[in-house]
Structure 1
């Protein structure tokens, strides 16, 4: 058995104002703070942060480069809409990439079972409270606590990009649960498989959890008149 590798690809570089703003915007995306199709004005970001337009623009352009945002025009950036075709691609990629991360991480996760169960309890609490940001934070924390020990920095980076892409639509999933945890709680199933030493069962539970959330988004996209998850507002 090899030891999980740490990711030392980037090395040290000074933190800039654009980096700090980009990190906060990334957190908002991951927490469902922006909706698919929502416009994000560079000027409004600079005003909200109390900084000049240049670092705000650079931060947003960084997220455009990652694929989390897109340009609408020279001054306005928006969250990409989530249509059924896009969601289908994300679903396929998540199952392949995150399933493999869970499989690779499994040998190092047994000592973390209690910690994972505690994070999952936060997910359940947030669902019952209909607290979308808390649900998104805790759900992301649980999945990446599972994936990070895999020692696969390329796969991990791809998983992060996928989460940035679909996370704005996850408010729909939280609302669909209507304050009740899902009947088939695949987080619990994954932790049970982990404690039982069932590596294949663990991967299947993680993949079932991914499919459950993505299928809710797909169902919504196919039932909406425009065929997707979108919002035309501006931030």
Structure 2
């Protein structure tokens, strides 16, 4: 009889680098307009340039990154028009996800998980750690997407977050002010959790949409769109 063999990671190096870069964009490790160096990223992850280049090309195809006229690869710009469009779509799709989460057979476990994530965000706010707050905020929303059990919805919203993640990360530029934004988000999250716990579809959708709308309003007031609007979308 064969001895038990440990599972083998069959994902390619390019896939792993892609997921790592994608994760960095989702939690705002990069901001709109940032230049990404293939050489520097390859050194960071300890690989040759080729798999990094291939992973970045996938993100260019998904419009999370853009190739500028000087052939540099940058995080995609985030103009007012893009912001308005993305946020409206997110409010509709994430509201649908919240509705679906209310009907999840694992709703009780989801509520426990969401409370833990929201508590982690609160602790990050108290510590004035905006990076942790950004990551906890992302985890909260994605826990709801996963609970919706709509794979295509998760795919579409994930792609939207590749663009909005770097935008949200600009809150780090004004950490003292950003604490208020995340504190307000914490309260909205509490409303979302309460609605899901009661399977209150309407309230869950309304609270999550309010969270997105309020955070975006703060970011728009504190973000200078002029640089992005002067940057070509692609070269």
* 2:5 alignment counterpart: none
In the TM superposition, 1:111-190 aligns within 5 A as: 111=108, 112-173=110-171, 175=175, 176-178=177-179, 181-182=183-184, 185-190=187-192
| Aligned residue in 2 for 1:53 | 49
Give 5+ residue unaligned stretches, structure 2: 1-8
Distance verdict in 2 for CA 1:103–1:60, change over 3 Å: same
Q: Any idea what SS the aligned residue of 1:36 has?
A: coil
Gaps of 5+ in 1: 1-12
When normalised by structure 1's length, the TM-score is 0.83
CA contact (8 A) 1:35 1:230 kept: no
Structure 2 distance, partners of 1:150, 1:99, is 10
Distance 1:185 1:96, change over 3 A: same
Q: 1:49 to 1:184 in 2, by over 3 A?
A: closer
TM-score by structure 2 length?
0.83
Query: Which consecutive aligned stretches of 4+ in structure 1 deviate over 6 angstroms post-superposition?
Result: none
- In the other structure, the counterpart of 1:211 is 213
User: Do the aligned residues in 1 keep the contact of 2:18 with 2:56 (CA within 8 Å)?
Assistant: yes
Q: Tell me how large the CA RMSD over aligned residues is.
A: 2.5
Distance 1:145 1:66 in 2: 23
Matched position secondary structure for 1:181: helix
Output the CA distance in 1 between the equivalents of 2:127 and 2:81.
Answer: 32
Q: Indicate the residue corresponding to 1:63 in structure 2.
A: 59
Q: Which has the higher helix share?
A: 2
Counterpart of 2:11 (choices 3, 9, 15) is: 15
Match of 1:70, SS state, is strand
Deviation at 1:115, TM superposition (A): 1.9
What do residues 143-196 of structure 1 show as CA deviations (whole Å, max 9, x unaligned)? 111121222111111110111101112133463333671288110111122233
Most deviating of 168-177 and 102-111: 168-177
Match of residue 202 from structure 1:
204
Matches within 5 A, 1:77-92: 77-92=73-88
Match of 1:185, SS? Answer: helix
